[in-house]
Amino acid sequence: GAGVSQSPSNKVTEKGKDVELRCDPISGHTALYWYRQSLGQGLEFLIYFQGNSAPDKSGLPSDRFSAERTGGSVSTLTIQRTQQEDSAVYLCASSLATGGWGEQYFGPGTRLTVT
């Protein structure tokens, strides 16, 4: 079946511009996660959606970052007034887990480059 998809696969933007990254989770997965990964580094948690509960935004690095999940499915991560340090691969994952995070299925990522 279809896995997690993300778009765009690559995004180059100028410093100060806003960007939107999209994630389509696996159908039926109630949990959705956003991470970012800088070159050669591990994954940094950003935000976690679980069903209709309020999202866990504790990982968002600044108020320039926001995310929403419409209809319990597609999610959009928005970065306003991008900075060069925002350059990274942004990964989305989804899982069936309703208690705890469980096994996560990852998308291919969006590589964001801020010039």
Partner 1 sequence: SQQGEEDPQALSIQEGENATMNCSYKTSINNLQWYRQNSGRGLVHLILIRSNEREKHSGRLRVTLDTSKKSSSLLITASRAADTASYFCATEYTTSGTYKYIFGTGTRLKVLA
Among 107, 110, 112, 114, which residue interacts with partner 1 (rule: CB under 8 A)? 107
Q: Which is nearer to partner 1, 53 or 113 (CB)?
A: 53
Q: What is the DSSP letter of 40?
A: T
Which of these ranges, 7-15, 42-50, 63-71, 79-87, lies near partner 1 under the rule CB under 8 A?
42-50
Task: Quote the tokens at residue 65.
Answer: 């970052």
- By CB under 8 A, tell whether 25 contacts partner 1: no
- By CB under 8 A, tell whether 30 contacts partner 1: no
CA–CA separation, 53 vs 49, rounded Å? 7
Among 15, 102, 113, 115, which residue interacts with partner 1 (rule: CB under 8 A)? 102
**Pairing status of strand 65-69 against strand 110-114:** unpaired
- Polymer length in residues for the chain: 115
